[in-house]
Amino acid sequence: MKFLIVGLGNIGAEYAQTRHNIGFDIAEALVKKHAGNFTVQKHAQYAQVSLRGRQMHVIMPTTYMNLSGKAVRHWMTDLKIPIENIFILVDDLAIDFGKLRIRANGSDAGHNGLKSLNELLLTQNFPRLRFGIGNNFPKGRQVDYVLGKWNAEEMKEMPFLIHKSVDAIESFVIKGLPLTMNEFNK
């Protein structure tokens, strides 16, 4: 069985460790845990690792957030991975910091990465892990908040939250979406 795990984010040092790049951070932790390495390939940094005989193809699009769908569509087609076997890792303003929500589908809710996926995959029906980043910002400062670095209090919790997110990915690959949703959406 093959899976495409997609961490959403933006390439470049200025975006590293920002709220909007949590998808990249989780993807990197997954690949590191399974002793893999990323290489730059078409539209993405790519790694392949395995878990109990299942192949996990992990990408971090190099297309920037707003064009993420281009990379995902390419890799899904190239690897012949069905949409139900992709898992998108994405930040979410509508969820309190540190909460995880796993869904089978959903709207883009104003998220440009998800908007690109919806447009280029021609569906909203793909599994995703939504990582809550909260919405603790003054009116009109959403972009600064999303592209901002984690504060000191948040940073203390990040290792645990990234580990929990990696556990959710592994659960999705081994147990499937319904059981993973039951376990992690508490």
- DSSP label at residue 1: -
Rounded to an integer, the average pLDDT of 151-161 is: 96
> Distances in Å between the alpha carbon of 35 and those of 22, 44, 86, 113, 161?
20, 19, 21, 28, 20
Q: What is the 3-state secondary structure (H, E, C) of 62-129?
A: CCCHHHHHHHHHHHHHHHCCCHHHEEEEEEECCCCCCCEEEECCCCCCCCHHHHHHHHHHCCCCCCEE
Q: pTM for this one?
A: 0.96
Judge whether residue 110 has pLDDT over 90: no
Position 61 scores a pLDDT of 97
Position 109 scores a pLDDT of 87
For residue 14, what are the contacts with CB-CB under 8 A and spacing of at least 6? none
* 1-36: pLDDT as tens digits: 999 999 999 999 999 999 999 999 999 999 999 999
Judge whether residue 57 has pLDDT over 90: yes
Percentage of the chain exceeding pLDDT 70? 100
Domain extents for the chain? 2-184
Name the CATH superfamily housing domain 2-184: Peptidyl-tRNA hydrolase (3.40.50.1470)
- Told to judge if 20 belongs to the known catalytic residues of this protein, a careful annotator would answer yes
Out of 20, 43, 57, 74, pick the active-site residue. 20
